[in-house]
C-alpha cells in the first residue's frame, strides 16, 4: 500500500465515522422512573451532583419519565459539563453539531469536543483526531496532532482510532511519530496525575452531616 492509498483509505473511514459517532452517547436509561424517582434525581441535580445532572439531562433528551425537552436537556448537560462531566461535554458538542436544542454551531461543537477530549473522553479524542486529519469544521489540518489524538483514543479502547493511528503513522516521518508519541505519553501522565489529585481531594473533603 502506498502513502497515497493510506491517506485515501483513512480519509474515507474518518469522514464516515465522524457523523455516525454523534448518535450513541445520546442514549438514556431504558427504564422509565417513577415520579418520586424523578423528584429525587432533580433534587440531587439541583444540589450540584454532576452524575445526577447528566442523568436528568438524558431523561429530558429522551422524554424518559419527564416531558421531552431538548432545551432542558442542554441546560442540564451544560451544568454537568461545567462540573467536569466529560460525557456531558461530548453530548453538548453533538447537540451543537446537529442543532439539537440549540442553533447549529460547528465552532461551539469543536470547542466542546476539545474540552471533552482534554477531559479524557475517548469518543471526543477520536472525533478531534478526525477533524484534525481532515481539516473539518474550521479546524486547521494537522496530521501529526491527529496522530497523537488517534493514539490517545486508541489507547483508551477506541478500536477505529487505533487502526487509524497505524495508517497515519505511515504518512509521517519517524521524528514526528516519535515526537507525537512523546506528547501522548506526557498527556497520559498529566491526566492520570490530575485524576489522582482529584481523587485525593475527594477523600480529604470532610463529610457534611
Q: pLDDT (tens digit, 9 = 90+) per residue, 173-206?
A: 999 999 999 999 999 999 999 888 876 665 555 5
**Mean pLDDT, residues 1-21 taken together:** 47
Q: What's residue 204's pLDDT? A: 57
- Rounded distance between C-alpha atoms, residue 189 and residue 170, angstroms: 26
Measure Cα distances from 108 to 18, 93, 96, 207 in Å.
16, 7, 6, 37
pLDDT of 83 > 80? The answer is: yes
Going by pLDDT thresholds of 50, 70 and 90, the confidence category of residue 33 is: confident
Q: What is the pLDDT of residue 21?
A: 39
Say yes or no to pLDDT of 154 above 60: yes
At 24, the pLDDT band (50, 70, 90 cuts) reads very low
CA–CA distance from 106 to each of 1, 137, 155, 163 (Å)?
Answer: 34, 6, 27, 26
Strand intervals (E) in 136-188: none
The per-residue pLDDT for 197 is 81
Report residue 154 CA to chain centroid gap: 14
* 40-70 residue pLDDT tens: 999 999 999 999 999 999 999 989 999 999 9
The pLDDT value recorded for residue 201 is 63
What pLDDT does 23 receive? 37
What pLDDT sits at residue 205?
54
Q: Work out the angle at residue 201's Cα, subtended by the Cα atoms of residues 185 and 58, and round it to the nearest 5 degrees.
A: 80
Mean pLDDT of the chain: 85
Convert 25-50 into a string of H (helix), E (strand) and C (coil): HHCCCCCCCCHHHHHHHHHHHHCCCH
Q: Is 68 left (phi over 0), alpha (psi -120 to 50) or beta?
A: beta
CA angle 60-115-12, nearest 5°? Answer: 90
> Residue 63's CB: how many other CB atoms inside 10 A?
14
DSSP designation for 1: -
DSSP string of 46-113, one letter each residue: HTT-HHHHHHHHHHHHHTSSS---HHHHHHHHHHHHHTT-HHHHHHHHHHHHHTSSS---HHHHHHHH
* pLDDT cut 90: percent of the chain above it: 73
Q: How confident is the model at residue 31 (pLDDT cuts 50, 70, 90)?
A: low
Q: What letter does residue 24 receive in the DSSP assignment? A: G
Domains and CATH numbers, the chain: 3-24+33-200 (1.25.40.10)
Amino acid at each position: 500500500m502506498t502513502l497515497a492509498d493510506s491517506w485515501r483509505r483513512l480519509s474515507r473511514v474518518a469522514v464516515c465515522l465522524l457523523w455516525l459517532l454523534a448518535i450513541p452517547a445520546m442514549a438514556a436509561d431504558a427504564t422509565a422512573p417513577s415520579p418520586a424517582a424523578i423528584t429525587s434525581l432533580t433534587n440531587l441535580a439541583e444540589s450540584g451532583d454532576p452524575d445526577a445532572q447528566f442523568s436528568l439531562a438524558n431523561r429530558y433528551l429522551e422524554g424518559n419519565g419527564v416531558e421531552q425537552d431538548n432545551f432542558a436537556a442542554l441546560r442540564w448537560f451544560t451544568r454537568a459539563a461545567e462540573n467536569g462531566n466529560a460525557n456531558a461535554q461530548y453530548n453538548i458538542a453533538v447537540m451543537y453539531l446537529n442543532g439539537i436544542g440549540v442553533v447549529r454551531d460547528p465552532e461551539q461543537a469543536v470547542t466542546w469536543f476539545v474540552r471533552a477530549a482534554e477531559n479524557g473522553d475517548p469518543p471526543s479524542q477520536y472525533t478531534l483526531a478526525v477533524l484534525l486529519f481532515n481539516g473539518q469544521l474550521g479546524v486547521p489540518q494537522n496530521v501529526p496532532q491527529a496522530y497523537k489524538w488517534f493514539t490517545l483514543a486508541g489507547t483508551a479502547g477506541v478500536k477505529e482510532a487505533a487502526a487509524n493511528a497505524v495508517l497515519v503513522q505511515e504518512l509521517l516521518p519517524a521524528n514526528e511519530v516519535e515526537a507525537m508519541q512523546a506528547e501522548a505519553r506526557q498527556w497520559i501522565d498529566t491526566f492520570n496525575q490530575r485524576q489522582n489529585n482529584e481523587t485525593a481531594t475527594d477523600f480529604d473533603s470532610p463529610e457534611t452531616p
